[in-house]
Structures are given as structure tokens and as C-alpha cells.
């Protein structure tokens, strides 16, 4: 056992929480050594320490893609102590009002902004993060009991957890994706796949297929192949304004996605934009009044149109926009376009697909047939799996039951005239 883990806790002002906290162990395993001791002493429940003197926290190390280390631990983005993974306090955790569906994976997202710099706020589009920033997204699942030793059993649940840590007793880490704003201003995506021993993750630019079994609370489980995207696939979605190439852009961090309350832990619960502003990480933000806000897919108090726009924007528009990888289809599912009254065909209403679109079923003529979800190709492709049918084409091998129900309800209540038979 590395001595570092046995030294006294190293408290400092946790940047994300604006509160003092204690970290029972050194950052990540690089410091902990991964000594394999099965009897690691549990971190003592840490009373608030008096920081005398305040030690300097170990800052994350941000790499350009060309210099990316093979192990995630070298970035110092988080640490594992005992059975808890905790983000480096220099990272700010966040989530999104409505997120990309990834086969029910939970996600712990975090932003790192280098010291002294700030994110340029904008009401529209992706927030402009400074060079040296990183977006860090860890995909993980609640553990489950499976039926097949060849597949990793994971539970089918809807994530509610927030905070800045993951309890590894009850969860299995799958991958951590890093989007880094490189020295030349470009973004690069780097997928790290967690090792079987769950102690560190390994850079896997070629991607990886992982056999899994998704176990619901009740009913039969389903086996699927979890696909860690390769670096090319990252680009297909993240080059959302250049047909799947060229400039990579983050998708999630837009004001309307971030404008929500988050429980940062330690009793800090506040709006994410306000929190970034309080941390002096946001420039040009003038307060929540007038800031756009996306609906949550699951928030039934919100209008269906707002929930559908939010879901289709986050799950489809990175390709289905006028400059995206699926622009040739003419189906444009951006937040601002969905529901537009003048060009209803461009968001699918009574739009004949330009190409065969793989429903394999008669009766499906139009992308959206108002009032008739059961003849709308858009819903068909959201509610089926298989190589010829699945949309989105990246990142989904199982059906998102909650979203299918919501999108179906939305199509059912659309007021546009139904399409010609």
C-alpha cells in the first residue's frame, strides 16, 4: 500500500463547491499506486479539517490528443479512495436537462477550466470554453445480477444521482470520454475504457465492444453490445456543423441544457449556470432572467412540445441539422426548427423520406404523421433496434422506453393535418 494513501487527509477549498471539504486519499491511483491490497483501510469519515497550512491541490493535467497518456490516471481528473471515485475538486460536475440516451448508462459529467480563464456565455449554441479546458464524462451503470457470465450485468434504471462522486460498491465504471480544447483551439475526443479491475482506464482510440446484459427492475433482461465509440465515431457526432468532420464541437454544454439545479454535494444545491458564474468561470452571464431552458424529458409538468424539442435536439440534431452528417436527408431536428410553423416538412411533418429508411413495414410513409405515432417513421426508428433500423446510429442498442412514450404522445397531439394516406 502506497504511503500516500495512509497519510493524513489533504483538505483544501473545493472549487466546485465553494466549501471546504476533505479528500481522504491522494488523487487517483497514480498516487495510490494501485497496490492491490484487498484490505485497503476505509477512509475515515472525515470531520471538517482545519487547513493549516492549506496544501496546494494537485491540478489536473490537460493533454493535447497527440500527447494523450495511455492511462486516465495521468490526467488527475479524479481519484479513487476506498470504494468511491471522486472528481478532482478543480472540476465542476454538471448534468443536462435532457441528455443523450446511451443504453441507460449513467453519466458523471464535469467541466475543467484552467485557472484564470472563463467560459464565454451565450444564450444560443455551445458555450465557448477556453483553450486548456476539458469536458469529462464517465459512463457507468448500477450493478445487477445477470444470467450469463459472458455479459456484464448492469441495471436498467433512470439516473437521478448527482454530486461529484460515484460509489463503486454499487456501480460499475465503463468508460470515461474526454473532450479537450487543444492548444490550437480545436477540440479532440479521447475515449478511455475502464479496466476490469476498475482501478484505472486505458486510452482506447479504436473503441471497444462490450457484451452487456441490461437487467430491469422487473421483467426479462436483454443482452446488448455496448459500443465504446472510436475516435472517428466521436467526430461523426461532434462535428455537428461540418458534416461529421473538421471542427469537433461539444454537444451538451449549451445554456439551455445547463440551466437547471444540481446537487453538488456537501449541501450545495444551486443552478449550474449560477454556480459557474459564482466560481468566476463564466463571462458575460447576466443572470438567469432570460436565460433559455430546456425541458426535462421526464418532467410531465412541461409541455410535450418542449420535452420533444429538448429530446430530439440532444439525441438527433448533432447529425440532423443543416450542416450535419445527416443533412442530406433534409430532416432537420434542431431545437429551433422543431415545431416551426412555416417549414413543417423540414422537421418531418408529412415529409416523405428521400431514401429507404429501414422500417421494413408497410404503412410508414412519412417521418412524422401528425396524430399517428404508429405510422411515423421517426418514432419507428427510435423504438427499434437492429442495424437497419436504429436511430441514432451511434450509441444506442436498446430502446429508451421513457422517450418513446413521450415522443409518441407528442406526435399524437400535434395539431398539423394528418398526411395523405
**Which lies closer to another protein via its Cβ, residue 163 or residue 330?**
330
Shortest Å distance, C-beta 227 to another protein: 6
Of 91, 98, 18, 88, give the one whose Cα is nearest residue 258. Answer: 98
173-212 binders of another protein (CB under 8 A)? 205-209
Report CA 210 to chain centroid distance, whole Å. Answer: 19
- The count of chain residues that interact with another protein, using the rule CB under 8 A, is 56
Shortest Å distance, C-beta 44 to another protein: 44
Contacts of residue 186, Cβ cutoff 8 Å, sequence gap at least 6: 247, 248
Tell how strand 208-215 and strand 152-155 pair up.
Answer: parallel
Among 81, 359, 372, 383, binds another protein (CB under 8 A): 359
Shortest Å distance, C-beta 208 to another protein: 7
**Which lies closer to another protein via its Cβ, residue 7 or residue 361?**
361
**Which lies closer to another protein via its Cβ, residue 274 or residue 394?**
394
107 contacts 96 by C-beta, under 8 angstroms: no
**Which lies closer to another protein via its Cβ, residue 70 or residue 245?**
245
Counting Cβ atoms within 10 Å, is residue 248 exposed (0-12), middle (13-18) or buried (19+)? buried
Shortest Å distance, C-beta 343 to another protein: 5
Omega before 212 cis (within 30°)? no
**Which lies closer to another protein via its Cβ, residue 75 or residue 325?**
325
Helix residue ranges, H only, 322-388:
377-382
Q: Does residue 6 touch another protein according to CB under 8 A?
A: no
Q: Does residue 75 touch another protein according to CB under 8 A?
A: no
Only segment of 164-172, 237-245, 285-293, 309-317 that touches another protein (CB under 8 A): 237-245
Shortest Å distance, C-beta 301 to another protein: 33
349 contacts 378 by C-beta, under 8 angstroms: no
Q: How far apart are CA 123 and CA 292, in angstroms?
A: 6
Q: How far apart are CA 317 and CA 335, in angstroms?
A: 8
**Which lies closer to another protein via its Cβ, residue 292 or residue 360?**
360
The separation between the first and the last C-alpha atoms of the chain, rounded to the nearest angstrom, is 71
Among 97, 346, 375, 383, binds another protein (CB under 8 A): 346
**Which lies closer to another protein via its Cβ, residue 93 or residue 353?**
353
Shortest Å distance, C-beta 231 to another protein: 5
Among 299, 305, 345, 409, binds another protein (CB under 8 A): 345
Q: Does residue 11 touch another protein according to CB under 8 A?
A: no
Counting Cβ atoms within 10 Å, is residue 48 exposed (0-12), middle (13-18) or buried (19+)? exposed
What angle, rounded to 10 degrees, do the helices at 401-412 and 304-316 form? 130
Only segment of 54-62, 69-77, 97-105, 230-238 that touches another protein (CB under 8 A): 230-238
Q: Does residue 364 touch another protein according to CB under 8 A?
A: yes
Neighbours of 324 (CB within 10 A): 24
Nearest 5°: phi and psi at 265? Answer: 90, 165
Q: Does residue 230 touch another protein according to CB under 8 A?
A: yes
Among 35, 246, 292, 303, binds another protein (CB under 8 A): 246
Among 117, 157, 365, 384, binds another protein (CB under 8 A): 365
Q: How far apart are CA 209 and CA 189, in angstroms?
A: 18
Mapping DSSP to helix (H, G, I), strand (E, B) and coil, where does residue 172 land? strand
What grid cell was written down for 123?
444564450
**Which lies closer to another protein via its Cβ, residue 401 or residue 417?**
417
Cα distances from 338 to residues 217, 314, 346, in angstroms, run 34, 12, 8
Shortest Å distance, C-beta 393 to another protein: 5
Q: How far apart are CA 21 and CA 13, in angstroms?
A: 7
Largest CA distance in the chain: 76
Q: Does residue 394 touch another protein according to CB under 8 A?
A: yes
Q: Does residue 243 touch another protein according to CB under 8 A?
A: yes
DSSP bridge partners of 215 = 155
**Which lies closer to another protein via its Cβ, residue 193 or residue 406?**
193
Helix residue ranges, H only, 41-104:
none
Interface map 304-343 toward another protein (x if CB under 8 A)? ------------------x--x-xxxx-x---------xx
What is the binding site for another protein (CB under 8 A)?
A: 205-209, 225, 227, 230-233, 235-236, 239, 242-246, 322, 325, 327-330, 332, 342-346, 350-362, 364-365, 377, 386-390, 393-394, 397, 420
Amino acid at each position: 500500500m502506497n504511503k500516500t494513501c495512509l497519510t493524513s487527509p489533504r483538505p483544501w477549498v473545493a472549487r466546485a463547491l465553494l466549501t471546504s471539504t476533505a479528500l481522504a486519499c491522494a488523487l487517483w491511483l497514480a498516487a495510490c499506486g494501485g497496490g492491490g491490497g484487498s484490505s485497503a483501510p476505509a477512509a475515515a469519515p472525515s470531520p471538517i479539517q482545519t487547513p493549516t497550512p492549506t496544501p496546494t491541490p494537485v491540478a489536473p493535467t490537460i493533454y493535447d490528443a497527440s500527447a494523450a497518456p495511455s492511462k486516465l490516471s495521468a490526467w488527475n481528473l479524479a481519484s479513487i479512495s476506498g470504494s468511491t471515485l471522486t472528481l478532482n475538486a478543480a472540476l465542476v460536475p454538471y448534468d443536462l436537462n435532457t441528455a443523450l440516451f446511451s443504453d441507460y448508462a449513467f453519466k458523471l459529467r464535469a467541466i475543467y477550466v484552467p485557472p484564470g480563464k472563463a467560459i464565454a456565455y451565450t444564450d444560443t449554441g455551445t458555450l465557448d470554453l477556453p483553450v486548456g479546458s476539458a469536458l469529462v464524462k464517465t459512463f457507468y451503470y448500477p450493478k445487477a445480477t445477470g444470467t450469463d457470465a459472458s455479459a456484464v450485468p448492469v441495471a436498467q434504471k433512470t439516473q437521478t444521482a448527482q454530486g461529484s462522486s460515484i460509489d463503486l460498491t454499487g456501480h460499475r465504471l465503463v468508460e470515461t470520454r474526454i473532450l479537450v480544447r487543444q492548444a490550437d483551439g480545436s477540440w479532440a475526443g479521447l475515449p478511455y475504457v475502464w479496466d476490469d479491475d476498475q482501478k484505472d482506464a486505458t486510452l482506447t482510440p479504436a473503441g471497444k465492444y462490450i457484451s452487456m446484459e441490461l437487467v430491469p427492475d422487473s421483467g426479462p433482461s436483454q443482452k446488448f453490445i455496448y459500443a465504446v465509440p472510436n475516435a472517428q465515431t466521436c467526430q461523426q457526432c461532434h462535428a455537428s456543423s461540418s458534416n461529421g468532420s473538421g471542427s469537433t464541437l461539444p454537444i451538451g454544454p449549451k445554456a439551455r441544457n445547463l440551466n437547471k439545479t444540481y446537487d453538488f454535494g456537501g449541501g450545495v444545491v444551486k443552478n449550474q449556470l449560477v454556480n459557474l458564474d459564482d466560481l468566476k468561470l463564466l463571462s458575460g452571464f447576466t443572470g438567469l432572467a432570460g436565460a433559455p431552458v430546456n425541458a426535462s424529458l421526464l418532467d410531465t409538468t412541461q409541455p410535450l412540445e418542449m420535452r420533444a424539442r429538448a429530446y430530439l435536439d440532444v439525441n438527433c440534431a448533432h447529425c440532423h441539422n443543416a450542416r450535419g452528417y445527416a443533412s442530406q436527408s433534409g430532416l432537420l431536428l434542431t431545437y429551433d426548427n422543431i415545431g416551426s410553423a412555416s417549414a413543417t416538412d423540414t422537421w418531418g411533418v408529412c415529409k416523405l423520406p428521400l431514401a429507404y429508411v429501414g422500417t421494413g413495414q408497410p404503412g410508414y410513409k412519412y417521418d412524422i404523421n401528425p396524430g399517428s405515432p404508429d405510422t411515423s417513421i421517426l418514432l419507428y426508428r427510435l423504438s427499434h433496434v437492429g442495424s437497419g433500423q436504429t436511430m441514432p446510429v451511434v450509441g444506442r442498442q436498446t430502446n429508451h422506453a421513457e422517450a418513446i412514450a413521450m415522443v409518441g404522445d407528442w406526435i399524437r397531439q400535434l395539431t398539423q393535418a394528418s398526411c395523405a394516406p
